[in-house]
Structure 1
């Protein structure tokens, strides 16, 4: 079975080929009931997942039509008159990636810590101590517009920029499959390039639909056969061990991958500290994580030592942990299809990564 190329979409890494070839060739993606631990791909087979690093491919070379006045996510009316010096800042680097994919990358003058893709890597940082905005660093770059959300702070720095006359557009801080299109649209409209925004929405949607179609063919349709999955957020140095549930963005990722969202089953909402009881109740077959989190506990052995209850689950026993670079796995921007693609290969066709 083949899938026709999606018009206007970029070529994706080999989920369509690798997963379908392996699945249709009978690679044995069995997934029995997990109530007793089941025989879900027996053995310690889950690979570490390499970062997704596709090159930026702008949809256009637009000239901003300014001034524009927009009402941001906080209800503030903002007029943007100049997009020649842009700062796009958020905890996942999604906003900066969106600006680059719209074709305005040359106008971006700085970056936050999580904006790490190659085309932006040499830009000066405006964050310090992790995700703290530096007013001094921002002012040194003399931005003509700032796009941000509430994921970075301190918030008084954002307010200070607005008070001295820099247009600050505060966008939706939620990241999920449900608002990828609207976030791209809001960025494009704030920068005066609505047509480029529509083109990027069309391309991103086509790519996501293509990957999801393949995942639907490969993932078990019956929920009792799906791999039970949880998303763990870990920062070992700080002793932070959270499980993400509803409204965290992780639930949409898990669903799109054709996995069974255990957090919903145990009524786990938001982002809160995980407990032994929750892990025991969840009995995950696979755990999704950020690479930085896994590294902070010295890998899977260190994680199982710190969360011994996890060692007694199917995921722990078989060391089925799939991780991706922190700024990518829950970023849900123009890279959404690539993220789903890479995770799909790691989960359903780990042999393709070897």
Structure 2
């Protein structure tokens, strides 16, 4: 604790950056920590890689990016691990925390920026605009690319004669199936791709065998971190036999979603994954 107190005092005595006019900084930060894969994607896409000094464990960096320290998980960031990097700015999403860590950083003079976890393309564009102002990087090129991808997705959604019913699950043998409802990243991805979430509750909830049958999903999605465990979906049919009677079960319509497209709301990886999903829905 003495080490932490000294670090806090030292950094507080040299306040690093000042946030002014909502989105603009007195000076562009040169030492940035990014927490959350979708946020780090934006930092890099905006040309902020030179200032990136550390990331959290949910971030997948490009293979050719220089190695940087990993400082915990974005929901449980350690104060000392962050301060040891002498950052000027910590940027992340709504769920970055815990709150006491963020407050200690602010008290020490570290700027903290939390972007909304985008549920749609408009919110993603707003995040790009806000982050570009903070980093002092132009957003026009990236925004133009994202707008083009969103328009292409809109056209692709319009070609689907009937939006398919989609169920996104997390499952373990003997522990049943949890489905992602509204207010979750899978729900945002499903809508972006042109599907309809088969459930209408919020968050994640356990489903009974009967509920799985009544939902009649056309497709069942899961994160690729479970792909091996679920054997591409085959294990689901063994663990939950009633799924065999659903449209998805009859066609074995399973799809493994890139887990990085589900971290921190709609991000750049989400746009690419939504395009792949839409093509699956369209039978391409």
TM surpasses 0.5: yes
Structure 1 contact 177–252 (Cα < 8 Å) conserved: no
Equivalent pairs, count: 266
- After superposition, give the CA deviation of every residue in 1:219-259 in whole Å (9 maximum; x if it has no partner): 21xx3xx4321222x16399584322223243443233233
Structure 2 contact 258–273 (Cα < 8 Å) conserved: no
1:290 to 194, 208, 223: 223
Structure 1 counterpart of 2:35: 89
Counterpart check, 1:134 vs 2:70: no
Quickly say closer, same or farther: Cα 1:158–1:70, change in 2 above 3 A.
farther
Matches within 5 A, 1:24-35: none
Question: 1 CA distance for matches of 2:238 and 2:202?
Answer: 26
Counterpart check, 1:348 vs 2:282: yes
Question: 1 CA distance for matches of 2:103 and 2:144?
Answer: 34
1:339 to 270, 273, 281: 273
Quickly say closer, same or farther: Cα 1:297–1:159, change in 2 above 3 A.
farther
Structure 2 counterpart of 1:69: 20
Structure 1 contact 177–253 (Cα < 8 Å) conserved: no
Structure 2 contact 232–256 (Cα < 8 Å) conserved: no
Question: 2 CA distance for matches of 1:228 and 1:312?
Answer: 15
Structure 2 counterpart of 1:206: 148
Q: TM-score w.r.t. structure 1 length?
A: 0.65
Structure 1 contact 287–320 (Cα < 8 Å) conserved: yes
Aligned-residue Cα RMSD (Å) equals 3.0
Instruction: Using the TM superposition, give the Cα deviation of residue 71 of structure 1 relative to its aligned residue in structure 2, in angstroms.
Output: 4.3
Q: TM-score w.r.t. structure 2 length?
A: 0.80
Instruction: Using the TM superposition, give the Cα deviation of residue 70 of structure 1 relative to its aligned residue in structure 2, in angstroms.
Output: 5.3
Structure 2 counterpart of 1:145: 89
Counterpart check, 1:162 vs 2:113: no
Quickly say closer, same or farther: Cα 1:144–1:296, change in 2 above 3 A.
farther
Counterpart check, 1:216 vs 2:158: yes
Structure 1 counterpart of 2:172: 236
Structure 1 SS opposite 2:55: coil
Instruction: Using the TM superposition, give the Cα deviation of residue 320 of structure 1 relative to its aligned residue in structure 2, in angstroms.
Output: 1.1
Instruction: Using the TM superposition, give the Cα deviation of residue 325 of structure 1 relative to its aligned residue in structure 2, in angstroms.
Output: 1.9
Structure 2 SS opposite 1:179: helix
- After superposition, give the CA deviation of every residue in 1:18-71 in whole Å (9 maximum; x if it has no partner): xxxxxxxxxxxxxxxxxxxxxxxxxxxxxxxxxxxxxxxxxxxxxxxx864254
Q: Name stretches of at least 5 consecutive residues in structure 1 with no aligned partner.
A: 1-65, 73-77
Structure 2 contact 39–91 (Cα < 8 Å) conserved: yes
Structure 1 counterpart of 2:247: 314
Structure 2 SS opposite 1:125: coil
Question: 2 CA distance for matches of 1:315 and 1:181?
Answer: 34
